[in-house]
C-alpha cells in the first residue's frame, strides 16, 4: 500500500474527529460533571460544598415534593401521549380528506405548535381565571352564576396543564402522521372498496397497519419532550396548587436556579437522564422486534 492510499484511509477519521470533540464537550462532559455534582452537597447560598456520596439519591425517595412531581410527571406523560396518539390520528385522517380549503386548514392548524409554550402558559393562566377567564365566561353563557377556580383545585389544574400541552403539540403530531398517510396509494383504498370493505374495516385493515410504525416512532421523541417539559408549567401554574402540577423538569429548575441547591438538582437531572435513556432503549428494542 503506497503513502497516498494510507493517507486516504485515515481521511474519514480525521474529518470526524472535530465533530466527536465538539459532541463530547457539549454532551458527554456536562453529563460527567452533573454526575460528579450529584455526589456532593452543594448549596451556593450557604457556601456548602461537601462530598456525601449517594446520599442525594437516597433523599430523593424521602422527599414528598419530588414524589409528588414524579407522580404528576407519570400522569402527564401517559395521559398526554395517549391523547396525542388517539386525537392526533383522528386529526390526521381529517386533514387527509379531500375537501375545499384543506391546504389552508393544514397551515393554520400548526399555529398553536409555532407559539412559544411560555406565551401559551401565560394566556392559559388568564383563560382559566375564575373571575374574568375565557373558559368560565363561556360556561356562564349556558350556566349563569358558574364559579370554579380551575388552577386552584388539584384535579382541574392538572387537567388544564395536560389540555394546554395537547392544544400546543397535537397539531404537529397530526401533521407528522399525515405525512405517513400521504404515502398510502389511493389504489389500495379503491381495491378495498371494490371488495366491499367499509370505512372502519379500511382503517383497521389498511390504514392503521401502514402508519403504526410511523406513530410508534413519533412516540419516542414526543414522550421525551413530555418528560423534559418545563416552560408550560412555569408560566401557567408555577407548580401549584402546592406541588401538584410540578413536573420533574420544573422541580430540577427550581432546585438549581431558585434554591441554588446544585447537588440535589444534579441528582434529579441524572435520574431523569437515566429514565429517558432507559425509555429510549426499550422503545428501540420494541421497534426492532416489531420490524422483525
Q: At what angle do helices 154-181 and 208-227 cross, to 10 degrees?
A: 140
Per-residue pLDDT, 200: 86
State residue 242's pLDDT score. Answer: 84
Residue 184 forms part of a structural domain: yes
Neighbours of 202 (CB within 10 A): 16
What is the rounded CA–CA span in Å between residue 78 and residue 52?
34
Residue 263 lies in a domain: yes
pLDDT, residue 290, reads 67
User: Domain range for residue 71?
Assistant: 48-290
User: For residue 177, is it within any domain?
Assistant: yes
**pLDDT at site 170:** 93
Residue 113 included in any domain: yes
How many domains, the chain?
1
1 belongs to a structural domain: no
For residue 276, is it within any domain?
A: yes
Per-residue pLDDT at 54: 92
Residue ranges of the chain with pLDDT lower than 50? none
Helix axes 29-38, 262-291, angle to 10 degrees: 130
Tell me, what's the pLDDT at 87?
94
pLDDT score, position 162: 94
Cα separation, 66 vs 57, in Å, equals 11
pTM over cut 0.85: yes
Residue 195's domain is classified under what CATH number? Answer: 1.10.3720.10
Structural contact between residues 277 and 260, judged by C-beta atoms closer than 8 angstroms: no
CA-wise closest residue to 178 among 111, 96, 107? 96
pLDDT at 269: 94
pLDDT on residue 283: 80
Distance, C-alpha 27 to centroid of its chain:
20
> pLDDT at position 3, please?
63
Query: 50: which strand partners?
Result: 41
Whether residue 72 contacts residue 246, with contact meaning beta carbons closer than 8 Å, is answered with yes
Angle at 201 between CA 209 and CA 208, to 5 degrees: 20
Asked whether residue 38 is domain-assigned, the answer is: no
Q: Which helix (H) or strand (E) holds 216?
A: helix 208-227
231 is a domain residue: yes
Amino acid at each position: 500500500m503506497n503513502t497516498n492510499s494510507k493517507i486516504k484511509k485515515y481521511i474519514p477519521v480525521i474529518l470526524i474527529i472535530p465533530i466527536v470533540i465538539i459532541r463530547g464537550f457539549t454532551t458527554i462532559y456536562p453529563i460527567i460533571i452533573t454526575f460528579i455534582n450529584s455526589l456532593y452537597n452543594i448549596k451556593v447560598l450557604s457556601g456548602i460544598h461537601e462530598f456525601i456520596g449517594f446520599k442525594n439519591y437516597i433523599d430523593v425517595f424521602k422527599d414528598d415534593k419530588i414524589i409528588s412531581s414524579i407522580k404528576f410527571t407519570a400522569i402527564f406523560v401517559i395521559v398526554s401521549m395517549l391523547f396525542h396518539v388517539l386525537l392526533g390520528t383522528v386529526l390526521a385522517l381529517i386533514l387527509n380528506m379531500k375537501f375545499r380549503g384543506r391546504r389552508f386548514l393544514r397551515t393554520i392548524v400548526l399555529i398553536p405548535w409555532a407559539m412559544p409554550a411560555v406565551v401559551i402558559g401565560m394566556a392559559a393562566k388568564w383563560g382559566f381565571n375564575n373571575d374574568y377567564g375565557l373558559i368560565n365566561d363561556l360556561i356562564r353563557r349556558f350556566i349563569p352564576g358558574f364559579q370554579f377556580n380551575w388552577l386552584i383545585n388539584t384535579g382541574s389544574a392538572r387537567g388544564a396543564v395536560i389540555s394546554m400541552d395537547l392544544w400546543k403539540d397535537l397539531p404537529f403530531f397530526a401533521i407528522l402522521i399525515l405525512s405517513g398517510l400521504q404515502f398510502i396509494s389511493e389504489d389500495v383504498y379503491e381495491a378495498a372498496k371494490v371488495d366491499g370493505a367499509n370505512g372502519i374495516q379500511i382503517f383497521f385493515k389498511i390504514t392503521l397497519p401502514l402508519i403504526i410504525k410511523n406513530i410508534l416512532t413519533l412516540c419516542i421523541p414526543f414522550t421525551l419532550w413530555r418528560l423534559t417539559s418545563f416552560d408550560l408549567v412555569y408560566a401557567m401554574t408555577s407548580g401549584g396548587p402546592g406541588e401538584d402540577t410540578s413536573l420533574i423538569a420544573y422541580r430540577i429548575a427550581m432546585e438549581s436556579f431558585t434554591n441554588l441547591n446544585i447537588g440535589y438538582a444534579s441528582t434529579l437531572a441524572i435520574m431523569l437522564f437515566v429514565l429517558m435513556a432507559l425509555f429510549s432503549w426499550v422503545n428501540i428494542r420494541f421497534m426492532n422486534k416489531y420490524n422483525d
